[in-house]
Amino acid sequence: MDQTMGLVVYIAFFIGLIYLMIIRPQKKEKARKEALMTSLQKGADIVTYSGIHGTVTSIDSNKGIIVVNVAKGVEITMEKAAVARVLETKEAE
């Protein structure tokens, strides 16, 4: 009986450890990404996951597409999900 109880406690400990080290951080990152997508606005300076810096010129929330100005006269269309972060005003300069 004691060995069985010890095994159950051991397994429960590792399940808890897996939750704390893997599942919980993934949930936090997903919530952060969702908040970023809903707060994205026209004129925001962004960085994409591929490292492209630019300014959002238009957003189509229905299709999940944004248009980003990356240089004078150069605009690219990309998925909203490609945005890694929004730069603060002092970061953008």
- Which burial class, exposed, middle or buried, applies to 54 when counting CB atoms under 10 A from its CB (0-12, 13-18, 19+)? buried
- At residue 80, does pLDDT exceed 80? yes
> Is pLDDT above 90 for 35?
no
CA distance 73 to 2: 73
Task: Look up the pTM and report it.
Answer: 0.66
pLDDT classification of 91: cutoffs 50, 70, 90: low
Res. 5: pLDDT tops 60: yes
